[in-house]
Amino acid sequence: MIHKTSYKQNNITMKFLRNLLASILGFFIAIFIMFLFFALIGSAFADKEKTTVKENSILKLNFKKPILDDYNVESPFSELFKEEPKVLKLHQILNAIENAKTDKKIKGISIEIQSLKAGLAQTQEIRKKLKEFKESGKFITAYSDGYSQKNYYLSSVADSVYVNPLSGLDLKGLGADLLFFKDFEDKYGVKFEVIRHGKYKSAVEPFISNKMSEANRTQLTELLQDIWMNFKQEIGESRGKTIQEIDQIADSLGGRNAKLAIQNNLVNDTIYHDQYEALLKKHLQVKDDKKLNYISIKDYIKTGKGRKKVKITVKDRIAVIYAQGEIKYGEGDETYIGQESIIKALRKAVKDKKVKAIVLRVNSPGGSALASDIIWHELEQVKKEKPLIVSMGNYAASGGYYISCNADKIFAEPTTVTGSIGVFGMVPNVKEFADRIGINAEQVQTNKHSIPYSIFEPVSEDFKKVTKESIEHIYNTFLSRVAKGRKMTVKQVDEIAQGRVWSGTQAKKVGLVDEMGNLEDAIAYAAKLAKLKDYKIKNLPRYKKDLGKILSNSPFMKMKMHQLIKEEIGSDNYKILNDFKQFSQLKGIQMRMPFVMEIK
């Protein structure tokens, strides 16, 4: 009887708990549904005032958000809550500046950038477009509370450059910081076993040495000197300075304060922002008590000015496929290149009869050799159907070059970092660390290679031999792909390969690219090959995220966690941790440039 009573009580308790949990879950679901309902109502009755351009307006470039080549991400929340894009799209910025040239309501451009979150090649593209804007006869002015070097490089294109009286600008030349972990590995017994091909394949050098090799120092020095030459020439042209004078200013830090910046003609005057606006009012004949009609680049794009001007009746299209980020085996999204999404986009463009040519925009330091080769193979099929042109962005190196080399024509910016034709494999090893803390690993296997490698055991000669064979095979395949695409011999490619990185200018000299030019130039050439006068642009791939994927990835929580860690340990320590983590997560044989490099 006691047993039966206990059973009944347990059964009642379990039912109660199930009902309680169901009620709690139902409560949260109801709250969520109500939240969505009111959001929809709010969205339906929200102020739908259209962004317009007023007469006598100034287009303001402040670029508060990161600049990416493209960002096509759709989610359930983007339409529901009218989310602002997290980034600015480079092609929309360029189109907006182009459209502003002939927009009668736009009288000029004001560059007011505090922090420019763009790569060197992207910055160069924007600067080139601003220079074209100036040629229309409209003015460009620039103001900042303090210019970083990249910010000043862009802003120096202006007719007049102003800076806060208590500040100055950075003009000091280019440098690169590389971190080396060899001593750290020896100290703690956590190592990376590296097998590579290419004397310049410096992506793995920080893990096998405690200092920079002469080969790596040579390539980086020449790379930075070439990019710096572009900076000097363009800044000098805008500010009436010779290359030698720019070097002298950089060596003496001749822009470090406002007084020196004026003396060296780097800026026109030192004023506060309200005084800067007073100058703009005077120029536009706006009364002192009236506000200037500013329109931000973000809002100007909203008005439709971020699109290329074409006739409504135009049916022909050029597809621009954006391959941006590291190359990883898998689906791919807006943060990395996966072969699945790129292949899907390429096939969509090939099947679309309206698409007459394809431009592959590459902005990648490389990554997975397997994924790179799969994309290369698909591009070979594309070439049989339609013209294929490559436009290189900030990076098109290693795997990024692998997927570029078979195009009908390759365009690069002078500041593009490309080449890095080399291959490496890397696996972690914690044998020494495990020994120190008293961990011993034992293996049981049926055959000699059942466990080819264990992180708890020294690397065997058999493993090294097999891995070396794979790397040599992939490296030779890489050489043959480039030789075929660039119409060179394998020997000629090998002489400029070995993992060496080149600037766009250098790459043209050695035959790795065809022309200096930006994305617009590549599109124009694609149109020429397809014999098109008028055309629309079709940007691919497009990424869609359903609610389940958004919640499972929890990007907001990840971002907050990383930010908390960064604040706790400091930016420099966080960079070391992040670099180490990235290398530890590499899978398979890699075609990757030395991306753990920060150009300053």
Question: Residues with catalytic annotation?
Answer: 201, 398
Distance CA(228)–CA(332), nearest Å, equals 34
User: Could you tell me which residues are beta bridge partners of residue 144?
Assistant: 163
The token pair at 484 is: 């075929």
Residue 302 CA, distance from chain mean position: 23
Q: Are 381 and 413 in contact (CB under 8 A)?
A: no
User: For residue 301, what is the DSSP state?
Assistant: I
**Phi, psi (deg, nearest 5) at residue 429:** -140, 125
Parallel, antiparallel or unpaired: strands 160-163 and 191-197: unpaired
Q: Are 306 and 342 in contact (CB under 8 A)?
A: no
The token pair at 2 is: 């006691």
CA dihedral 367, 372, 375, 380 (to 10 degrees): 140
Buried b / exposed e over 448-458, threshold 16 CB at 10 Å, is eeeeebbbebe
Instruction: Give the type of residue at 447.
Output: N
The token pair at 575 is: 């960079």
Q: Which stretches within 297-414 are classed as H helix?
A: 297-300, 339-351, 369-385, 399-402
Strand, helix or coil for residue 56: coil
Q: Are 507 and 233 in contact (CB under 8 A)?
A: no
DSSP for 214-231? Answer: HHHHHHHHHHHHHHHHHH
Strand, helix or coil for residue 493: helix
CA dihedral 107, 108, 114, 117 (to 10 degrees): 110
The token pair at 359 is: 């431009």
The token pair at 233 is: 């020439």
CA angle 414, 391, 68 (to 5 degrees): 90
Distance CA(413)–CA(295), nearest Å, equals 29
Q: Are 413 and 124 in contact (CB under 8 A)?
A: yes
Q: Are 90 and 116 in contact (CB under 8 A)?
A: no
- Residues shown for the chain: 600
Q: Are 76 and 107 in contact (CB under 8 A)?
A: no
User: Helix, strand, coil shares of the chain as percentages rounded to 5?
Assistant: 45, 20, 35
Distance CA(579)–CA(592), nearest Å, equals 14
Cα–Cα distances in Å, from 507 out to 124, 230, 502, 504?
Answer: 17, 14, 6, 5
The token pair at 210 is: 């405690």
